[in-house]
């Protein structure tokens, strides 16, 4: 991981003890999936990955 521990989002704790609408529930689920995806990318990315040179792409000019 690039910098320290990930700061996740506990969706279960947000809804405890309260009735939430289906829309809010879906929003929380979608947000949690996004956070998990972001954490996965950050865990798999190293400084070496960021420092290696990229192959130059061809540019098309009009």
Burial of 43 (C-beta count, 10 Å sphere; 0-12/13-18/19+): exposed
In this prediction, residues 25-48 reach a mean pLDDT of: 92
In a domain, 58, yes or no: no
In a domain, 59, yes or no: no
Q: How many domains does the chain have?
A: 1
Q: Is the pLDDT of residue 48 over 70?
A: yes
Q: Which residue has the higher pLDDT, 23 or 49?
A: 23
Structural domain of 40: 11-51
Q: Answer yes or no: are the C-beta atoms of 11 and 32 closer than 8 Å.
A: yes
Helices vs. strands in the chain: H and E counts, helices first = 3, 0
In a domain, 2, yes or no: no
């Amino acid at each position: 991981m690039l910098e320290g521990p990930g700061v996740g989002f506990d969706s279960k704790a947000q809804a405890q003890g309260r009735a939430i609408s289906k829309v809010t529930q879906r929003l929380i689920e979608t947000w949690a999936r996004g956070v998990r995806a972001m954490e996965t990318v950050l865990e798999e990315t190293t400084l070496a990955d960021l420092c290696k040179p990229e192959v130059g792409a061809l540019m098309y000019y009009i």
